Structure 1
Amino acid sequence: MKIDHVHFYVEDAKAWRDWFVYHLGFQVVADSGIPSTFLQKEDCIPLEGRNDAHTCTQVVKSGPVYFLLSSALLPSSPVAEFLRQHPPGVADIAFCVENVEQVISLAQVHGAKVLQPVQQQQCGQKYIKWGKIAAWGSLSHTLIERGVGGDGGDEGDKGAISSSSSSSSSFAAIDHIVLNVNAGDLERAVTWYQNILDFQPQQTFNIQTARSALYSQVMVSGNGEVQLPINEPASANSQIQEFLNVNRGPGIQHIALRTRNIVDAIAQFRATGLCLLPVPKGYYSQIQQRKGLPLSTDELDAIARQEILVDWKENTFFGSKNIIPVLLQIFTQPIFRQPTFFFEFIERRYQAQGFGEGNFRALFAAIENEQIKRGSLKDFG
């Protein structure tokens, strides 16, 4: 399983296309001469109603990362219905799977609602099969199988969208996608993803401060390619509860985009005016006091100038040179008017795995500070 693409429902698709190009260096995917149900000439992708009478859809990419951006042209558009219920955000996460019929069948056995039965289309020598299921809240999952030949060939999910662009500014991958669910629903959501998409639980987090708290369970696909942390609020004034209130239900809180050089990338993003979360006061002083800091003074200074979070696990080494894997992360402010969806940028040095608890706590504190500024969380100190 792989993430094929992510579909956003927004108020103005063309404006958000330009936002991704200007602020994050994405490229526009040209659509001239493409059938209305598919994205690319060479790598087909299902898309309901592309630039048709009721919906305008734009597509942007950075390396292997593809985002679809749809806005309503008429009240009959599915985007209009989504935006009547929620602020702009992620409506669908598409996964590339090896056998779409099998996945859809398993989903039905476990009670999932099929929104679109399996369809098939030949695209030259390649074929594509796809279906769609309802997921958590208003989120859906398009399930895509790609291959070669009329009988399906043997490529399976190896046929996921790929890009010939490999510029240094491109993102390397979608590292993970985070889902927020209502209080008390975490266990049910975990079971849903286990039963229907064969995700397995990995790390768990119980983050608490003097002001608020959350629980989180990281889910990982069977092949390890997709990471889906799921959060639920553990206090009435939790930042997760604020998201649920403003979003009017569960939904995708953020998407983490992996980059090869986060320091240079963030410097470029800041130059475009992208708004990023500041680190908590005294953060780097605490980092320097931690045992086994695996960064030189110059490296830490460069990271601190860009206000990037740093984490590592002591006594964990990469290869035979006793190199310590390092996790570097930074987060945008919410990109829409409402305090809901934001992006994370992440660099995993020396194959750093999982999610650092130190960074998780620092993010939690940084978002709390933004809640205090918005007046949705009381400052006790």
Structure 2
Amino acid sequence: MDSSVFRLQVPSVTNIGELTFRVAYHGDFVKDVAFQVENLDFILEYARKQGAVVVKDLWEEKDEYGVVRMAYGDTTHTLVDRTKYTGPFLPGYQLLEKDPINTYLPKVEINFIDHVVGNQPEHAMEEAASWYERCLQFHSHGELGRDREAAHQRTCARQEEESDPGLKHSKVKVAESIDLLEKLNILIDYDDNGYLLQIFTKNTQDRPTLFVEVIQRRNHNGFGAGNFKTLFESIELEQEKRGNL
């Protein structure tokens, strides 16, 4: 999967710790979104001065491939400095060269995580966006600015299921033929410069709070604003099937 890595964890049956209580509260959920950086000391100190709460101080992990330095940012962020590391992911992890399931499934090349989308309570979106701009030096995207209010209204309708702020879905960018994706009845959005293709999975666990989107870009840097209505109509349809619309 190139540079796109999902790390899955389950709480220990014999050792009840923080993860056990978090899963009991949220269900399966995204605990951490990691950012790869090259100057960890500077970024960590900058974020701290801007008001970020550092929940775990900087630490190192190493193996035969080198050294990785990390620092933590209920959704946290881990800052990962891999400039002195050549392994496939992190120390202690190895590539599984031949997964038996690949014998039965067509190959899909996942290049990298394109972006993630998080839910926020009512009137809290601007505060959350400002935190990323202030602490991590993110910047606003024009398209999101136009659609922020619409997305905000839709998000608030689902807060009952979310229970508190958290990551709603993640997107991954792929290198795949357009003809093949078109057969899957995917959505398309476009502007004067290009277009993007996108398709969504159903909810990935028992609670309807997380799904994955596969996206293919053709000279288009937007986020599918033209498909918001279709996306949330499908979410409402799933809610109706569950009887909690």
TM-score by length of 1: 0.55
Do structure 1's residue 182 and structure 2's residue 121 form an aligned pair? yes
1:117: Cα distance to partner?
Answer: 0.5
Q: Which has the larger radius of gyration?
A: 1
Q: Percent identity?
A: 29
Deviations 1:308-360 (A, max 9, x none): 101211xx24xxxxxxx2211111111111111001111112x2211232222
Match of 1:249 in 2: 164
Match of 1:355 in 2: 223
Q: Which has the higher strand share?
A: 1
Match of 1:215 in 2: 149
Partner of 2:108, secondary structure, is coil
Do structure 1's residue 346 and structure 2's residue 200 form an aligned pair? no
1:95: Cα distance to partner?
Answer: 0.8
1:244: Cα distance to partner?
Answer: 2.5
Task: Please show how residues 98-247 of structure 1 align to structure 2 within 5 Å.
Answer: 98-124=38-64, 126-133=66-73, 138-148=74-84, 161=89, 169-202=108-141, 203-204=143-144, 215=149, 232=152, 234=153, 238=154, 240-247=155-162
Distance 1:143 1:174 in 2: 15
Partner of 1:352, secondary structure, is coil
Distance 1:265 1:198 in 2: 38
1:205: Cα distance to partner?
Answer: 5.5
Q: Which has the higher helix share?
A: 2
Quick one: which of 24, 28, 53 aligns to 1:88? 28
Is the CA contact (8 Å cut-off) linking 2:59 and 2:69 kept in structure 1?
yes
Distance 1:125 1:63 in 2: 17
Match of 1:308 in 2: 186
Is the CA contact (8 Å cut-off) linking 1:262 and 1:347 kept in structure 2?
no
Measured at CA, do residues 354 and 142 of structure 1 come closer, stay the same or move farther in structure 2, by a change above 3 Å? same
Task: Please show how residues 3-152 of structure 1 align to structure 2 within 5 Å.
Answer: 62-73=1-12, 74-124=14-64, 126-133=66-73, 138-148=74-84
Distance 1:63 1:146 in 2: 15
Which structure would you say has the larger RCO, counting Cα contacts within 8 Å and 6 or more residues apart? Answer: 2
Q: Which runs of 5+ in 1 are unaligned?
A: 1-61, 149-154, 208-213, 217-230, 267-302, 318-324
Is the CA contact (8 Å cut-off) linking 2:174 and 2:216 kept in structure 1?
yes
Measured at CA, do residues 205 and 368 of structure 1 come closer, stay the same or move farther in structure 2, by a change above 3 Å? farther
Distance 1:332 1:215 in 2: 24
Is the CA contact (8 Å cut-off) linking 1:90 and 1:252 kept in structure 2?
yes
Distance 2:26 2:237 in 1: 24
Deviations 1:84-106 (A, max 9, x none): 22121100011111211222212
Match of 2:101 in 1: none
- Match of 1:78, as an amino acid? E
Partner of 1:191, secondary structure, is helix
Q: Which runs of 5+ in 2 are unaligned?
A: 98-105
Deviations 1:232-274 (A, max 9, x none): 3x2xxx4x235432231011111112122266776xxxxxxxx
Superposition RMSD on alpha carbons, in Å?
2.9
